[in-house]
């Protein structure tokens, strides 16, 4: 069996999804996701210029060797662009492999450990009451878990993940358009004084059963994060996400000495070498890597298995930074992984997205059910794709009030 060609597409409804389609001499194709927020044309060029010519003629069934060929062959190790590109190839090859077997991908991992995988939605509000509305919307939709973010009174600009609107028709206040990033002002003191009380009010309003998650987006220093984690302990969060800067694998030690709040980290990691110490030292409870940013299924499985040895559960990233192809790959891992925790869920469900990426995966009562179609169980409609093209966009940056650049 041989790879005969591979195509790269950029675009999608409201997002610059980067899609790889690998074709074979047996008429079977595989799909991969190389989307990376704000740098989409670069993964597309990497695929087109370096990867596609090297794929032609290779046997797609040798996915491990092909992964090693690109990873070691790049000489320079890791990095988000390279690992995202390798991920797209890897997903496509596992898709092909499972289609050859005539099995849904999860069967190649070891079958199902559960029927539906728990997901969490993003509830956000310009202020706390607006956030309460947004949480109610998702609870009414059957979600059992929600991530909650709201504007902080007095904060000079919208802080991370805050939106306004009603129900599903909410828009982020932050403007992501254009190549020059918008700048927002962050004030740690205002946040630390306000957010623990706001989280406590949410718990009071929604009762003990709702799983409440909160994302700090790497904005606190280790001592501040320890103080914050202690303060929110009575809320019984499902997790506190990214409390400390992500680059420092030791930063959570202080927090761990002072709090038992479950910690989730990892959406910005791109290899096992970014989280092996965090996992081995049991400094986290959930690992948040995304299959599309961490070298694909082959590499993600190594992380999942390492995590399982240390009681760390999965909580794969699922922001709109990933196309439904990555979400499908994660859905197969989620139904299999013995140490599955929860899945962030935002992408599937809009009619435009479903038309571009048809699938039978579905969400019901806050659980994600994976399709039994052979492979990843997702397709890509090239005619639909022709409607879309690249639109420049970027994530904002955050500064302190005195101008110091901070973590976004
Ligand atoms: O690409 C960056 C976004 O995906 C990120 O800001 C979203 O923090 C995020 C989350 O938890 O989904
Ligand atoms: Mg996050």
Residue 347's pLDDT band, with cuts at 50, 70 and 90, is low
d(CA 187, CA 171): 23
d(CA 22, CA 27): 10
Ligand 1 pocket residue status of 344, Cβ below 6 Å? yes
Q: 319 CA to middle of ligand 1, Å? A: 5
Ligand 1 pocket residue status of 200, Cβ below 6 Å? no
396 membership: H or E segment, kind and range: none
Which ligand 1 atom sits closest to the C-alpha of 344?
Answer: 12
Ligand 1 pocket residue status of 267, Cβ below 6 Å? yes
Q: 215 CA to middle of ligand 1, Å? A: 9
Radius of gyration, CA atoms only, the chain: 21
Q: 375 CA to middle of ligand 1, Å? A: 27
Which ligand 1 atom sits closest to the C-alpha of 37?
Answer: 1
Asked whether residue 331 carries a pLDDT value surpassing 80, the answer given is yes
* Annotation says 160 is catalytic: yes
The model's pLDDT over 376-396, given as tens digits with 9 standing for 90+, comes to 999 999 999 999 999 999 999
- pLDDT value for 402: 95
3-104 and 108-376: identical CATH topology: no
Ligand 1 pocket residue status of 37, Cβ below 6 Å? yes
What are the residue ranges spanned by the domains of the chain? 3-104, 108-376
- pLDDT value for 348: 58
* Annotation says 217 is catalytic: yes
- pLDDT value for 350: 84
- Secondary structure E strands in 85-162: 116-125, 145-150
With tokens 């718990």, the residue in question is 203
Nearest Cα to 206, choosing from 248, 143, 295, 281? Answer: 143
d(CA 334, CA 322): 16
Which ligand 1 atom sits closest to the C-alpha of 217?
Answer: 8
What CATH number has the domain spanning 3-104? 3.30.390.10
Note the ligand closest to the C-alpha atom of 407. 1
Q: Write the CB contacts of 247 (distance below 8 Å, at least 6 apart in sequence).
A: none
Q: Using CA atoms of 250, 251, 257, 260 in order, give the dihedral in degrees to the nearest 10.
A: -110
The model's pLDDT over 96-145, given as tens digits with 9 standing for 90+, comes to 999 999 999 999 999 999 999 999 999 999 999 999 999 999 999 999 99
Q: Which of 17, 160, 238, 345 is catalytic?
A: 160
Q: Write the CB contacts of 53 (distance below 8 Å, at least 6 apart in sequence).
A: none
CATH of 108-376, one of 3.20.20.120, 3.40.50.150, 3.70.10.10, 3.20.20.70: 3.20.20.120
User: Please, are residues 126 and 100 in contact by the beta-carbon 8 Å criterion?
Assistant: no
Ligand 1 pocket residue status of 321, Cβ below 6 Å? yes
Q: How far is CA 251 from CA 21, 244, 259, 267, 273, in A?
A: 40, 7, 14, 16, 16
User: Please, are residues 55 and 65 in contact by the beta-carbon 8 Å criterion?
Assistant: no
Q: 387 CA to middle of ligand 1, Å? A: 26
Ligand 1 pocket residue status of 215, Cβ below 6 Å? yes
Residue 5's pLDDT band, with cuts at 50, 70 and 90, is very high
- pLDDT value for 321: 85
Asked whether residue 146 carries a pLDDT value surpassing 90, the answer given is yes
Q: How many CB atoms lie within 10 A of CB 13?
A: 15
User: Please, are residues 6 and 24 in contact by the beta-carbon 8 Å criterion?
Assistant: no
Asked whether residue 407 carries a pLDDT value surpassing 80, the answer given is yes
Q: How many CB atoms lie within 10 A of CB 394?
A: 16
Ligand 1 pocket residue status of 224, Cβ below 6 Å? no
Note the ligand closest to the C-alpha atom of 265. 2
Residue 406's pLDDT band, with cuts at 50, 70 and 90, is very high
The model's pLDDT over 206-255, given as tens digits with 9 standing for 90+, comes to 999 999 999 999 999 999 999 999 999 999 999 999 999 989 999 999 99
Mean confidence (pLDDT) of the chain: 95
Please tell me the residue having the least CA distance from ligand 1 atom 9.
319
Asked whether residue 364 carries a pLDDT value surpassing 90, the answer given is yes
DSSP code for 24 = E
The model's pLDDT over 158-213, given as tens digits with 9 standing for 90+, comes to 777 777 777 767 777 778 889 999 999 999 999 999 999 999 999 999 999 999 99
Q: Which of 122, 214, 217, 317 is catalytic?
A: 217
318 membership: H or E segment, kind and range: none
For the chain, what percent of residues have pLDDT higher than 70?
99
DSSP code for 152 = P
């Amino acid at each position: 069996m041989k790879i005969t060609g591979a195509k790269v597409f950029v675009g999608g409804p409201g997002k610059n999804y980067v899609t790889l389609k690998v074709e074979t001499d047996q008429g079977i194709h595989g799909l991969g996701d190389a989307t990376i927020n704000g740098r989409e044309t670069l993964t597309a060029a990497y695929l087109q210029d370096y990867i596609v010519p090297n794929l032609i003629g290779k046997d797609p069934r040798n996915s491990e060797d092909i992964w090693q060929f690109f990873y070691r062959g790049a000489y320079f190790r890791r990095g988000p662009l390279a690992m995202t590109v390798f991920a797209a190839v890897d997903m496509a090859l596992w898709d092909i492999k499972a289609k050859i077997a005539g099995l849904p991908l999860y069967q190649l991992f070891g079958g199902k450990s559960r029927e539906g995988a728990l997901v969490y939605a993003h509830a956000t509000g310009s202020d706390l009451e607006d956030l309460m509305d947004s949480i109610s919307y998702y609870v009414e939709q059957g979600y059992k878990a929600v991530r909650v973010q709201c504007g902080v009174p007095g904060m000079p600009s919208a802080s991370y993940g805050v939106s306004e609107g009603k129900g599903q028709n909410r828009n982020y206040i932050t403007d992501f358009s254009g190549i020059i990033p918008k700048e927002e002002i962050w004030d740690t003191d205002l946040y630390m004084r306000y957010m623990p009380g706001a989280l406590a009010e949410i718990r009071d309003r929604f009762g003990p059963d709702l799983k409440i998650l909160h994302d700090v987006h790497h904005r606190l220093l280790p001592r501040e994060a320890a103080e914050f984690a202690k303060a929110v302990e009575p809320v019984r969060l499902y997790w506190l996400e990214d409390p400390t800067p992500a680059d420092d694998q030791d930063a959570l030690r202080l927090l761990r000495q002072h709090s038992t709040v479950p910690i989730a980290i990892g959406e910005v990691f791109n290899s096992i070498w970014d989280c092996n110490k965090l996992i081995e030292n049991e400094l986290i409870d959930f690992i948040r890597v995304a299959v599309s940013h961490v070298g694909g299924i082959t590499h993600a499985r190594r992380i999942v298995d390492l995590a399982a040895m240390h009681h760390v559960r999965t909580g794969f990233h699922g922001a709109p930074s990933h196309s439904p192809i990555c979400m499908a790959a994660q859905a197969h891992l989620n139904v299999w992984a013995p140490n599955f925790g929860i899945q962030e869920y935002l992408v599937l469900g809009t009619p435009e997205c479903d038309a571009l990426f048809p699938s039978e995966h579905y969400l019901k009562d806050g659980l994600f059910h994976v399709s039994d179609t052979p492979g990843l169980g997702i397709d890509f409609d090239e005619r639909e794709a022709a409607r879309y093209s690249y639109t420049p966009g970027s994530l904002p940056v955050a500064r302190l009030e005195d101008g110091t650049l901070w973590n976004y």
